[in-house]
Amino acid sequence: MYSKIALASSTRARAWDNTRRPKRCLLQRDGELREVVAARLAEGWSPEQISGWLKAAYPERKEMRVSHETIYRSLFIQARGVLAKELTAHLRRRRTMRRSKKASAAGLQRGQIRDAVSIRERPADAEVR
């Protein structure tokens, strides 16, 4: 039987290996999953639909599950080269880059009044009211 020290040592080594960076993308590691996702994208499915369909189509196979964010990441980060760039043409919004909600909201000037007049520029009779 293994000693507690040996088990703890091997467990620690395994945990250390699991935390290594950079990790290969899930779609890069699993060829079958990559083919299924690419086929659905070519048919015009959204990443959200693909993710939900995989969960329903393969209920017993956890390795056949992927989040919609992973699919988007694989499409838009071309350095990964996991999914073909041509598949972005099948997305509903044919953007070549993806912006986060923070980045797109930062461009809007929320809370700003258009054509606002400074309080210093108001007429003198407004002071009397």
pLDDT at 44: 84
pLDDT tens string 65-97: 888 888 887 776 655 555 655 566 566 665 555
The three-state DSSP-derived secondary structure of 18-33 is HCCCCCCCHHHHCHHH
Where do the domains of the chain lie? 25-94
Report d(CA 113, CA 101) in Å as an integer. 22
Report d(CA 120, CA 71) in Å as an integer. 53
Contact predicate 80/74, CB 8 Å: yes
> What does pLDDT average to over the chain?
75
Report d(CA 109, CA 66) in Å as an integer. 36
Read off the pTM. Answer: 0.52
